[in-house]
Chain A
Amino acid sequence: MSTSISTMLNRTEMDQHKAMLAVLDHMIWPILLVVCLGVFLLVPQTFGSLGMIELVIYGSAALGFLVLAEGICLLSGHFDLSIGAIAGFSAMFTAMLLSPDQWGVIQSPVLAVVIILTVATLIGVVNGVMISKVGVDPFLQTLSFLIIFEGAQVWLSSVPVSNLPDGFTATGGSSGVSITLMIAAFAVMGLLLKYTSFGQAVYAVGSNKDSARAVGIKTDQLIITVYALSGFLSGIAGLILLGRVGSVSPQLANDLLFPAFAAAVIGGISLFGGRGKIAGALGGVLLLGVIQSALNISGMSVNQIQTINGIVLLIAILLYNTRTNIRDRILTNEVSG
């Protein structure tokens, strides 16, 4: 009798732990809710109309794809510092091919979309091969590609490339298409990671590469696929960005690497691999978008905005740390119990 009571108590405790862990895994959403409430009270214009809300999400669409690109690498236990450079370079290269003011060697917008995504994916593949087959450290490999492709982007054109056909800019030029694409991409990626063997393998490699290899996962192949996917998603980010502004500047996407990292980590994806949810990363994207928009229209001095932005990020990181500590404590208790 006493044994069954003890078992029941243990089970209740386990259930509580599970509930706690679930809350911790989805902590971005209550944080986002609190931030939105705060913004609603302090800068109500941010949500003043449907158009404003649409604009916040639209402005975050390209970042969303870069967060997906970074997120999948982080989940697999790797870094990708080159996502912004891939987005910018592939956009610039394709714009040069397409613009009649530049090389003007292709006319078809559809072909241009294929090219931008192919170029971005190929760069991702090279990243993956260098890391998995040649054994280059992911940080150094992607750092070198960041430098190379940021430089090459400017090398191709030191001035913005414009005069691009409507068909090529249509994806990023339409808020509806951009937002739908982003949400669809998060949904597909979430399902892929949760319900497919590929997804399981990504988490397994991210948790422990050697163990993953020991259970038969082809880690090299997986890493190449992850980086190819990261490149592909970066290419879509480039496509959306160039459509949004209607041209490709030599700096396109250069400043989005750190926000992408921040959004992924705030959204609960572990910097050390193997843990986190893609849906949480979407929360991170929306959180950054809301904060940026609210600060933009708050009437606050531009000299204060960066500091406030940094403070908000610091708070989010502290929450992330706290969550990690609580999680570790719960898991330790479960093991010792």
Chain B
Amino acid sequence: MDSNAIDRRKFVKGATAAGLAGIAGCLGDDDEGTTYGFSTYYQGGAWNTAFLEAIEFYAEDMGMDLDEWGNDEDQDEELQNLQQGIEMGVEAILLNTWGSESVNPAIEQADEAGIPVFTVNVDATTEAVAMYVAFSNEAAGEMAGEELIERARENHPDQDNFEVLEVFGAPEQEISDQRSELFVETLEAEDGFEIVDTVEGEFLRDSTLQAVEEWINANGAPDAIYTSQVEMGLGAVAALENLDLDYPKGEDDHITLVTLDADAEVIEYVDEGIIDAAVDQPNYFYGPIALEYMQRYVEGDGMDELPEIGDTITEDDLEIPSSEHMGVELWAEPIWAPAEIIEKDGHIHFQTSPVLVDDTNANEDFHWGNIWG
């Protein structure tokens, strides 16, 4: 996920979340039909806007009654929201987890009360989760490694050895390791590729700019750069621009650049050939996929409705009906497919495919960066 910006709605919804939950609690008994709870945080900028609005659009399209609870990026508040939801007697809970460990008691409490909890985007670590929907940061890192190798060889076919600079997130955030680990392994397994250094970008554009610029000044230009998040990718581009090293693809001195995440700005640089490829998430599918299975769970035979570990789910197995939102036919292109069903922390992980953004598809409507840009 993009962890570096906060959605503006945070301040409205976050501040009123507890009150809304309380009011909803008082009114809950009078409501008719199935009520689902949705607990979320609002940090994440345009990325999160796309992710959250897609959930709201889909729930509305499907006529689902979704109570949304903001947690103000606070673990206690998240816990309390879930416990209130259980008291209110919602049928199921969709959870964009803030505290992956701290929220576990509430999920277990919900499970005991017969309320399934589906995690989405960020998982919790208890086996009481019914199903988790998201891509895999590790797999994205691996894909980025493979793309970097392929693009670097394409860009410089006569070259045998490639020096790669890795821009790492922040050591205190688990996602940094997740997005680095398989990237590093992939490159280490490839002859002729060496990660010559790893600098810290702190998920910030200015920190990455400074770190990359200093590194290149001290050591000379690398053959390729990998950044594991959108703002760091743009920081690396800014450093190359400052050093007059922003040669587009096709030029002899082009530095291969692969990043994770693709907002509108990244897509523009991909289109210009400064960034070779971006590995992105089908974020606007996460919620609808989870809601679809949640509805099947509630209205059907519970856990039997969910895919089994080891399955591969394709677009033929699961249809998310497209509908017009944000000026496009949203969900028309099943960029999430295929999905692998694996086990994670004792529960099902519906692991979607990552999405590759390169010069062949940069202008397509199915990238969230182009829709919500």
Taking Cβ atoms with an 8 Å cutoff, the residues of A that contact B are: 45-46, 48-49, 51-52, 55-56, 59, 151, 154-160, 162, 241, 244-247, 249-252, 255, 292-293, 296-297, 299, 301-303, 305-306
- Produce 1/0 per residue, B213-247, CB < 8 A to A: 11101110000000000010011001001000000
A293: which B residues are within 8 A, CB to CB?
Answer: 214
- Contact status A52-B218, CB under 8 Å: yes
For residue B347, CB closer than 8 A to chain A, the reply is no
A159 vs B7: C-alpha distance when bound (angstroms): 9
Taking the nearest CB of chain B, how far is it from the CB of A222, in angstroms? Answer: 34
Q: B207 — which chain A residues lie within 8 A by C-beta?
A: 255
B198 touches A159 (CB 8 A): no
**In the bound complex, what is the Cα–Cα distance between A305 and B200 (angstroms)?**
9
In the bound assembly, the distance between CA atoms of A55 and B242 in angstroms comes to 11
- Chain A positions within 8 Å of B339 at CB level: none
* A241: contacting residue among B206, B211, B238, B265, CB under 8 A: B206
Measured in the bound complex, the distance between the Cα atoms of B6 and A31 in whole Å is: 40
Q: Bits for B24-50, please: 1 = Cβ < 8 Å to A, else 0.
A: 000000000000000000000110110
- Which A residues lie within 8 Å of B218 (CB)? 45-46, 48, 52, 297
Given contacts A158-B46, A247-B205, contact A55 B8 (CB under 8 A): no
Residues of B within 8 A of A255 (CB): 202, 204, 207
B157 interface residue (CB < 8 Å to A): no
Q: Is B100 an interface residue (CB 8 A)?
A: no
Would you call B209 and A250 a contact (CB within 8 A)? Answer: no
Q: Bound state CA distance, A159 and B209, in angstroms? A: 18
Contacts of A250 in B (CB 8 A): 4-6, 45
| Nearest-Cβ distance from residue B195 to partner chain A, whole angstroms | 11
Within the assembled complex, what's the spacing in Å between the Cα atoms of A244 and B208? Answer: 12
Judge if B263 is at the interface, Cβ distance under 8 Å.
yes
- Give the top 3 A-B pairs by smallest Cβ distance, nearest first: A45-B218, A302-B200, A154-B6
Q: Given the complex, which residues of A lie within 8 Å of B202, measured CB to CB?
A: 255
Contacts of B211 in A (CB 8 A): 296
B8 close to A296 (CB less than 8 A): no
Chain A neighbourhood of B265, CB < 8 A:
160, 162
Q: Is B20 an interface residue (CB 8 A)?
A: no
Which residue on A lies nearest to B268, using beta carbons?
A: A162
Confirm or deny: B59 has a beta carbon within 8 angstroms of a beta carbon on chain A.
no
A246-B238 in contact given A255-B202, A302-B171 (Cβ < 8 Å): yes
Closest to B372 in A: A159
* Bound Cα distance from A51 to B214, whole angstroms: 9
Q: B206 — which chain A residues lie within 8 A by C-beta?
A: 241, 244-245, 249, 252
The reply to whether B5 and A296 contact each other, CB–CB distance below 8 Å, is no
Tell me how many residue pairs across A and B have CB atoms closer than 8 Å: 99
- Check A244/B234 contact, CB under 8 A, given A159-B45, A296-B200, A296-B215: no
Task: Give, as a whole number of angstroms, the nearest-CB distance from B156 to chain A.
Answer: 24
Chain A nearest CB, measured from B214 CB (Å) = 5
Asked if B371 CB lies within 8 Å of chain A CBs, one says: no
Smallest CB–CB gap between B353 and chain A, Å? 25
Q: How far is the CA of A179 from the CA of B268 in the complex (A)?
A: 32
| Distance of A330 from chain B, by nearest CB (Å) | 40
> Interface on chain A toward B: helix, strand, loop, or mixed SS?
helix
- Please state if B199 and A296 are interface contacts (CB–CB under 8 Å): yes
- Verify A296–B210 contact, CB threshold 8 A: yes
Is B10 an interface position by the 8 A CB rule? yes
- The answer on a CB contact under 8 Å between A249 and B214 is no
Q: A159-B263, A245-B238 are in contact. List 5 more A-B contacts (CB 8 A).
A: A155-B11, A159-B5, A252-B206, A255-B207, A306-B172
Residue of B whose beta carbon sits closest to that of A247? B205
Bound Cα distance from A48 to B219, whole angstroms: 9
User: In the complex, which residues of chain B have a beta carbon less than 8 angstroms from the beta carbon of A244?
Assistant: 206, 209
Of the candidates B11, B46, B217, B238, which one forms a contact with A55 in the assembled complex, judged by CB atoms under 8 Å apart? B217
Contact, CB under 8 Å: B209 / A297: no
Q: Is the CB of B263 within 8 A of A245?
A: no
> Do A302 and B168 contact each other (CB < 8 Å), given the known contacts A52-B218, A155-B11, A160-B205?
yes
Bound-state Cα–Cα, A52 to B215, Å: 9
A59's partner among B210, B219, B241 (CB-CB below 8 A) is B210
Nearest CB in chain B: distance from A102 CB, A = 13
User: Would you list 16 pairs from A and B whose C-beta atoms are within 8 A, ordered by A residue?
Assistant: A45-B219, A55-B213, A59-B214, A154-B7, A155-B8, A156-B8, A158-B6, A158-B48, A245-B209, A245-B238, A250-B6, A255-B202, A296-B200, A297-B214, A297-B215, A302-B198
| Minimum C-beta distance from A156 to chain B (A) | 8
Q: Report B5 CB to chain A, min CB distance, Å.
A: 5
Does A296 contact B205, Cβ atoms closer than 8 Å?
A: no
Can you name the residue of chain B whose Cβ is closest to the Cβ of A303? B171
Does B197 lie at the interface of the complex (its beta carbon under 8 Å from any beta carbon of A)? yes
Q: Which residues of B contact A251 (CB under 8 A)?
A: 4-5, 204
Establish whether residues A159 and B171, one from each chain, have CB atoms under 8 Å apart when the complex forms: no
Once the chains are docked, how many angstroms separate the CA of A297 from the CA of B8? 36
Q: Are B8 and A158 in contact (CB under 8 A)?
A: yes
The residues in B between 162 and 212 inclusive whose CB is less than 8 angstroms from any CB of A are: 168, 171-172, 197-200, 202, 204-207, 209-211
The CA of A133 and the CA of B207, in the complex, are separated in Å by 39
In angstroms, Cα B5 to Cα A55, docked, is 27
Contacts of A246 in B (CB 8 A): 238, 241
